[in-house]
Structure 1
Amino acid sequence: MYDCSSITTYYITVDPEPFASLNVNVSAELWIPAVLRLDRDEYQIKLAFRGAHTRKFPKKSFQIQFTYPELYEGQREIHLNAEYADPSLIRNKLSFEFFAGIGVLSPQTHYVLLYINEAFAGIYLKLEAVDELFLQRRELPVGPIYYAVNSDANFSLLQSRTDEVKDALEAGYVRKYGTDDDDQRLRAFIYTINITPVAQFEEAIEKLLDVDSYLRWLAGAVCTQNLDGFIHNYALYQNSQTGCFAIIPWDYDATWGRNVNGRILHPNRLAIDGRNTLSARILDIPKFRQYYCEILENILQTQFTEHKLEPMITALHECLEPFIGLDPYKKALAEEFASEPAFILSFIGKRNAFLQEQLESFKKIN
């Protein structure tokens, strides 16, 4: 259950002229100095817009890097998501809680009331950055981390939009932590996915991929119907002890029945097997496909149900409701916000039924 007392207030003070310059070219990676006040403590920070498609929305999302002190609660960097296109403001939060519940490594999230130069900027969702400190806080072996920033992070040799051969196998990724040698290991991973013959694939992929984690992530992405999440909007982490890669979900606002612009999606828009090269190859192996079916069946019976998720949806909605009328980008949409819990619960019921039906057919594939 979400604790409403964890909603904190952030006060950012920034010179108006540099702040205005962020809007001159919203795609530019421009960082400006600012001050963040939390209670009575002040932190020197750098501030920038974050996201890709979402930068075009009126309500911007932000990245914050701490410069002095360099860490805040063990974090060097945090992300503030505007959730502009999500009329419920809870889809990202609900997704990460859902993923954690099915055993997928996920960022922690908390709601923030953001003021910029004393003006209320709105309700934001603070996302934990996925970096080496993220791993250290969980006592995991530090290893390379990549952000999948565009659709070429599709585990293929080909570009997703043109089907032309990629200029580089690591296209679509930005290295968040690691070395040039790690880039070579990423290239080898993608090459192995694509060129290994079927007869050798099972043995080869188990040496490079945490298959259990991947199949749980796949099940979560399929349940929440994140159409973009298979080719970007994730972090890729390689465990330095096992050498195996794992996926960490990222940016899951276009889920639970809506797309990246907030438009309604029918609950059967995404098939049970997802949509990327790695998933196709893994599910072609009978042992992996059977295990995926077992994982998904359990999730559909115990985790992805209206009964299981209704208390969290209600709690999140009730925590945010008092602030909707204050958010300059949401106050005119209070009626839509009020109807979103019922909409999300309806999506869960219909999506569950669709996946149950597909699961029966998927089990019969030889």
Structure 2
Amino acid sequence: MLKHKLIRLAATACAVMLAPMIAYSATDHEFKEGHFHYSDEALANARKDVKMVDINVSMNGTDARVLFLKDPNDKSTFAADFSIEGERFEGRIKSFGSSTRAMKKKSIILKIKGEKWKGYKNISLNSMGSDGSMMRAWMAWELMRDMGMVVPETYYARLNINGEFIGYFLYIEWLGGRFLERNGYGAATEFYQATDATYCGDFRHSHEVDNCWTKLAPQGDDKSSMKSFASAVRSAPMETFDKFVAQNFDDDSLVNWIVTNTLVSNGDTYNKNYFMAKSDKTKKWRVIPWDYDLTFGQSFDMFVKFPESLFNERFQYYYTPDLGVFNPMKAKTLLNETLKAQFYAKLKHLIGKEKNGPEKTFGWFSPTVMHARVENLAHVLEAGQVKQKYGARSPESYDEQYDAVSHFGLARPFYLESNLFSTFEWSYRNTEQMKEYVAFTQGKDLFPGYLEKKADEAPSSKLAKASDVKKIKADIAPVGEAKKGLDEHEFMAKLLEKPFTGRNASVSSDDSLVVFDPGYGYFLTRLDFKSSYKVADFQAEAEGFKPPTYIFEGTSPDQCIQRSWVLFSRIPSLNIKADIMLEYFDEHSQKNELGGIKNEHAVNLWVHKGEAWMPLMTEVNQKSNTLKTYDFNLQAGRIYRFIACAAPESKLYSKPVGR
């Protein structure tokens, strides 16, 4: 078995090719890409014109100042006149917010008196205050819309109040009767919203419907239909959950929801931030997703207080599909073989591995298409961040933000491919959520004979006690070969005797190369070559979460990123110049490689080529946690060791991201 694993590991580490990803570029360009593919239609769609609506508001000057100063939970409104796409309205204006209430830039609601705009009296303008790039929610809605999901209309709005530019906002269609009507639902359609609470709308407990679901339509307090559905979700066997989904859900809304959350790394859902609609025609349910600002690498820090827990400079792209709280719908989808196959097929199509769907979405989430989309949006949105009245950013800060989104688009497909479709396939059965699922179901779904065999030992309550859970877990054999308690990734790390390592090759048709760890799926380096070559074959290694073993004299290891890198060419005759990008981890306050570094912009790379340490001019992105040096000479036969430290010389060699 070990021999076979090593053979598969070697095969996985073979040549993969990625086209040039020139960060900070101000031009549109197409990359030659050999690892993830995409359709011409998907690339053209990423470069399409971005709709921007002008909204001009006239109101009392004092009211205009107070609007962004008062607590957004204050329900008071102010009189105002609106001009929207040339149409004039009278009404009221107010600020609102939930998690964004601590930010200067509040979200806004325009309440129209009399005539409606596009059939709506309420115009919701999301401030995007939690997203420094202003791209994340828009891209998530675009992805779901292109997948054919029922989601609200969204487009950007340029807001001016009394002739003063306030900023760019995201118009999100009001989810109510008009939304249902526009999507073909009748007047008797039932529409529910999950309560915004930590544990609520996740269908775990029988009493949760009254407390956790607000009925929006039709009017009335009768929630019997939702209660029946919640009970059926909990009791439906995992083995036949695909049949339950076919009988109770319209189209692929459940699987598509999980696919979207997996791609954009959204964990702030499954217990809140979604709606459920039951058609009065088909009598089936549909998931209506909601709230996608904390995605595309935005990292929640559970170890600090609000608002820093949500609004921080942390970043990640390495969460598996079980991200977010436990929900029986998600659990049974990921454990049912038929639904899991659908889930995997959709992911492969969207990242550009299998052309098993529409042209428009083939490679929608490939690095090439994602980079083109981010560059396109950056041209449109930069002025909104730099010049907006509340919460403005510097041009350098905005460059960091949108470049971090671009890095997510590069790294996420590699991570998903490595973890879901490669040497050690990710298994939901081996996760912490799986243990919670076993406790929730007492093993009935996964191991139908287990509880019958242990009937006398089974607890009488619906949820197992901690001791019972421990016993159940102990009795269940791990999937695959037993490895003395190590999971698949830990086993491979032991096998390689290094935390992260990878090797990739490219041919002369390409001028960029990404090296990633084939087991963890972590990005190791990107080489943007400056001259042609016949074959490039590089190996990269990273020792993470520990001080560099070797440093230059006079520097404390605590003032260095707690990671070091090794890079070398495996082609004896290759001498080439390249831009080199490396990364480090800063996921949250308890999991990062910052050591004692307080200012990441003070860090620069140092290289040892066999003689002495030399500093390198370094471009630092503290948002995506990437370090880049330009025009580096890579000579065959040399091993290059890199460290990143904040030494006194750093201010001469380090600079923030720019374009």
Q: Same fold (TM over 0.5)?
A: yes
- Match of residue 271 from structure 1: 320
Cα gap change, 1:298 to 1:65, in 2 (>3 Å): same
- Match of residue 3 from structure 1: 49
- Match of residue 261 from structure 1: 311
- Match of residue 144 from structure 2: 99
- Match of residue 296 from structure 1: 347
> Do residues 119 (structure 1) and 164 (structure 2) align?
yes
Is the CA contact (8 Å cut-off) linking 2:53 and 2:85 kept in structure 1? no
Is the CA contact (8 Å cut-off) linking 1:156 and 1:190 kept in structure 2? yes
Residue range with higher mean Cα deviation, 244-253 or 195-204: 195-204
Cα deviation, residue 211, structure 1:
6.1
Cα deviation, residue 131, structure 1:
1.8
Cα deviation, residue 61, structure 1:
0.4
Query: For 1:203 and 1:148, how far apart are their aligned partners in 2?
Result: 25
Is the CA contact (8 Å cut-off) linking 2:105 and 2:391 kept in structure 1? no
Cα gap change, 1:177 to 1:10, in 2 (>3 Å): farther
Is the CA contact (8 Å cut-off) linking 2:202 and 2:270 kept in structure 1? no
> Do residues 352 (structure 1) and 417 (structure 2) align?
no
Query: For 1:323 and 1:21, how far apart are their aligned partners in 2?
Result: 19
Is the CA contact (8 Å cut-off) linking 2:201 and 2:213 kept in structure 1? no
Which one of 253, 265, 278 corresponds to residue 225 of structure 1? 265
Cα gap change, 1:273 to 1:13, in 2 (>3 Å): same
Residue range with higher mean Cα deviation, 145-154 or 11-20: 11-20
Residue range with higher mean Cα deviation, 75-84 or 26-35: 26-35
- Match of residue 156 from structure 1: 203
Query: For 1:43 and 1:96, how far apart are their aligned partners in 2?
Result: 28
Is the CA contact (8 Å cut-off) linking 2:110 and 2:123 kept in structure 1? yes
3-state DSSP class of the match of 1:207?
helix
Is the CA contact (8 Å cut-off) linking 1:169 and 1:187 kept in structure 2? yes
- Match of residue 76 from structure 1: 121
Query: For 2:415 and 2:290, how far apart are their aligned partners in 1?
Result: 25
Deviations 1:75-127 (A, max 9, x none): 23221011112111111111111121223222222222212344332211111
- Match of residue 162 from structure 1: none
Q: Provide structure 2 residue ranges, at least 5 long, that are not aligned to the other structure.
A: 1-46, 300-309, 353-362, 430-478, 480-659
Query: TM-score scaled by structure 1?
Result: 0.86
Cα gap change, 1:45 to 1:170, in 2 (>3 Å): farther
Which one of 330, 338, 342 corresponds to residue 399 of structure 2? 338
Asked which structure has the greater CA Rg, the reply is 2
Is the CA contact (8 Å cut-off) linking 1:144 and 1:182 kept in structure 2? no
Query: TM-score scaled by structure 2?
Result: 0.50
> Do residues 53 (structure 1) and 93 (structure 2) align?
no
> Do residues 174 (structure 1) and 235 (structure 2) align?
no
Which one of 288, 297, 314 corresponds to residue 375 of structure 2? 314
Is the CA contact (8 Å cut-off) linking 1:169 and 1:191 kept in structure 2? no
Is the CA contact (8 Å cut-off) linking 2:109 and 2:124 kept in structure 1? yes
- AA matched with 2:389: P
Is the CA contact (8 Å cut-off) linking 2:159 and 2:167 kept in structure 1? yes
Deviations 1:153-205 (A, max 9, x none): 432234xxxxxx75x42433333332336622122211211133446644444
Cα deviation, residue 45, structure 1:
2.5
- AA matched with 2:226: L
Is the CA contact (8 Å cut-off) linking 2:201 and 2:271 kept in structure 1? yes
Which one of 42, 54, 63 corresponds to residue 109 of structure 2? 63
- Match of residue 389 from structure 2: 328
> Do residues 183 (structure 1) and 223 (structure 2) align?
yes
CA RMSD of aligned residues (A): 2.9
Is the CA contact (8 Å cut-off) linking 1:153 and 1:170 kept in structure 2? no
> Do residues 238 (structure 1) and 274 (structure 2) align?
no
Query: For 1:32 and 1:146, how far apart are their aligned partners in 2?
Result: 30
Structure with the largest fraction of helix: 1
Alignment length, in residue pairs? 357
Residue range with higher mean Cα deviation, 292-301 or 205-214: 205-214
- Match of residue 433 from structure 2: none
Deviations 1:268-297 (A, max 9, x none): 1x3224442210022222221222121222
Query: For 2:165 and 2:234, how far apart are their aligned partners in 1?
Result: 49
Query: For 1:284 and 1:41, how far apart are their aligned partners in 2?
Result: 51
- AA matched with 1:295: K
- Match of residue 180 from structure 2: 135
- AA matched with 2:128: E
3-state DSSP class of the match of 2:92?
strand
Query: For 1:210 and 1:48, how far apart are their aligned partners in 2?
Result: 36
- AA matched with 2:329: L
Cα deviation, residue 53, structure 1:
0.9
Query: For 1:18 and 1:10, how far apart are their aligned partners in 2?
Result: 13
Cα gap change, 1:74 to 1:2, in 2 (>3 Å): farther
Is the CA contact (8 Å cut-off) linking 2:51 and 2:155 kept in structure 1? no
Cα gap change, 1:52 to 1:98, in 2 (>3 Å): same
3-state DSSP class of the match of 2:130?
coil
Query: For 2:83 and 2:145, how far apart are their aligned partners in 1?
Result: 30
Query: For 1:364 and 1:130, how far apart are their aligned partners in 2?
Result: 33
Query: For 1:19 and 1:232, how far apart are their aligned partners in 2?
Result: 33
